[in-house]
Amino acid sequence: MALLEVNKLVTEFHSREGVARALDQVSFTLEKGKVLGIVGESGSGKSVTAFSLMNLIDSPGRIASGNILFKGEDLLKLHPKRWNQLRGNRIAMVFQDPMMSLNPVMRIGDQLAETVSIHRPIRGSALNDLVHEALRKVGISAPRERMRAYPHELSGGMRQRVAIANAMINDPDLIIADEPTTALDVTIQAQILYEMKNLVRDSGTALIWISHDISVVKDLADDICVMYAGRVIERGPVHEVIRQPAHPYTQGLINSLPQSSGKGRRLYSIPGATPPLLSLPSGCAFAPRCARASSTCAQVPPTVVAGHREHRCYHPLGAL
């Protein structure tokens, strides 16, 4: 049984202008201890996927249909109390902006201790040692002193390490990381990426890594999900997908990487822009920007499964 199984998840946001379908029939699975990368542009539904998995979708948004099976338990049918037992304990999340995701008026140590004590009966010096160990594991120097620090006294990279320590402190089965390195500069980004990879490998935690940067996911993930306009348009083992993408959009993303264009050449970019969610084209949302589109693309492409890969395109590249 897979650790996490998402089936045809639909999340909608209601507004006066209409209903925006932020997630449309999103499905994927994640095995224990594996890393899944979710990539896509802004507005493709990456973060909404994360927030849906954590049940943190606020009104006017709501999960309209589908199911999320976590260790066989349907998360969408859970009582709020059960949710509070799972969140932070079995499923944890690392947010995008480390400047914002820590409480500015609470000491670092207290915030981590709170995450532990709400889920486990650990108190006193044992709790203190656990927090200390968690901070040490994510590479924070002088953790004893840092525990007494307030978030504003730490740098962005340090803060994100604290947030990661906070997510890992209860040894969750699954960590959802929503672009955790986007707000950091490149050197720190590489460090954190490297450390995160080791951390999840050592602890056997499954990881969902959300990023707009396909090159980040390439080095980190086992599987990849490419999202476009709320749909998963391609999914499969990361190296196969990158070597031989099936969907023209995935191909476009790969071609947009600076290392794909030759030295001194113009960088490739996909023509056009993502359509607004309130007025999606009928059929394939990528068709207006796609060189391979034909009249059949006016209908929503079905998910084509080929072995352990799948894609949603009438005109896939290569021989899949």
Site map (CB under 8 A) of other proteins, residues 251-290, x = contact? ----------------------------------------
| 311: Cβ contacts below 8 Å, ≥ 6 apart | 233, 234, 235, 236, 246, 247, 250, 303, 304, 320
Site map (CB under 8 A) of other proteins, residues 132-161, x = contact? ----------------xxx-xxxxx-x---
* 103 makes contact with other proteins (CB under 8 A): yes
* 76 makes contact with other proteins (CB under 8 A): no
Nearer to other proteins, 157 or 252 (CB): 157
48 Cα distance to chain centroid: 9
CB of 99 to other proteins, least distance (A): 9
* 120 makes contact with other proteins (CB under 8 A): no
The correct pick among 54, 208, 284, 290 for binding other proteins (CB under 8 A) is 54
Nearer to other proteins, 80 or 302 (CB): 80
Question: What is the rounded distance in angstroms from the CA atom of residue 47 to the CA atom of residue 298?
Answer: 27
Nearer to other proteins, 162 or 229 (CB): 162
* 122 makes contact with other proteins (CB under 8 A): no
* 114 makes contact with other proteins (CB under 8 A): yes
# residues near other proteins by CB under 8 A: 37
The amino acid occupying position 18 is G
* 31 makes contact with other proteins (CB under 8 A): no
Nearer to other proteins, 36 or 162 (CB): 162
Where does this chain bind other proteins (CB under 8 A)? 54, 56, 59, 83-89, 92-93, 95-97, 100-106, 114-115, 118-119, 148-150, 152-156, 158, 163, 166
